[in-house]
Amino acid sequence: MSAVRTASVTTKDTGETIDGVTVLGNYHMNDGWDWMDLIGQHGWVAVPGWGSDGWDLGQWPYVIVAATAATDNTGKLFGVATYCEGDVTCTYYRTQARQWDAITEQAFFHWKNGQAHGPDDLPEAAAELPSRYRMPPG
């Protein structure tokens, strides 16, 4: 599988099959810094921080969360990719709200497990996070 390819995907939130979408795959050739450079050439951006105060998201260059926005003939698409030492998962959503939920789940996982610096007052589950932890920094 190529690190970047065009393929059909099924959106996680609506179950639609969308053809011709840029999909990120495993990348074991170099490191996370090189992966970020590569995906940037294809409309993806690594997200460095999450939540109102921009707490760490992932542990660069070993764990990286990336996002993209695109449009097909039906409407907007929002992608999320996670890179963990070369293993990559890539999902798409029809709404930005679902994209943010997916990023929030990644952030929560890494904050809760001490793999990234996050808020001190984390609840037991990602679904219980207050809204200030569920958005890009601003």
Strand partners, 87: 84
pLDDT in tens, the chain (138 residues): 689 999 999 999 999 999 999 999 999 999 999 999 999 999 999 999 999 999 999 999 999 999 999 999 999 999 999 999 999 999 999 999 999 999 999 999 999 998 899 999 999 999 999 999 999 998
Omega prior to 61 cis, within 30 of 0: yes
Q: Residue ranges per domain, the chain? A: 4-133
Give residue 116's pLDDT. 92
Structure tokens at 131: 């809204």
Residue with structure tokens 């840029």? Answer: 22
Give residue 137's pLDDT. 96
